[in-house]
Amino acid sequence: QKKKFGGQDIFMTEEQKKYYNAMKKLGSKKPQKPIPRPANKFQGMVFDFVTRQVFDISIMILICLNMVTMMVETDDQ
């Protein structure tokens, strides 16, 4: 039935169709190659630290804590 009526394109303008197709192409692309670990000892340690999942989780926790502190500060207004 989608093909019969043109799928989702029936409600899109030409610009929206172009944007949708471009985003679909970008979403299907895979990363080209992994970033190599730096040879420098200090840079390698930093690289190892920031590429771990623990780093991502800790950053998310800090962002959430920052949002909570901003809410508490503006609660009195």
Which is higher by pLDDT, 46 or 77? 46
Return d(Cα 8, Cα 11) in angstroms, integer: 6
Instruction: State pLDDT tens for residues 18-68.
Output: 998 888 888 777 777 888 999 999 999 999 999 999 999 999 999 999 999
Residue 28 is predicted with a pLDDT of: 76
| Confidence tier at 76 by pLDDT (50, 70, 90) | low
Domain spans, the chain: 40-77
- The pTM is what? 0.51
Q: Cα–Cα distance between 58 and 55 in angstroms, integer? A: 5
Going 51 to 53 to 54 to 55, the CA torsion angle's sign is: positive
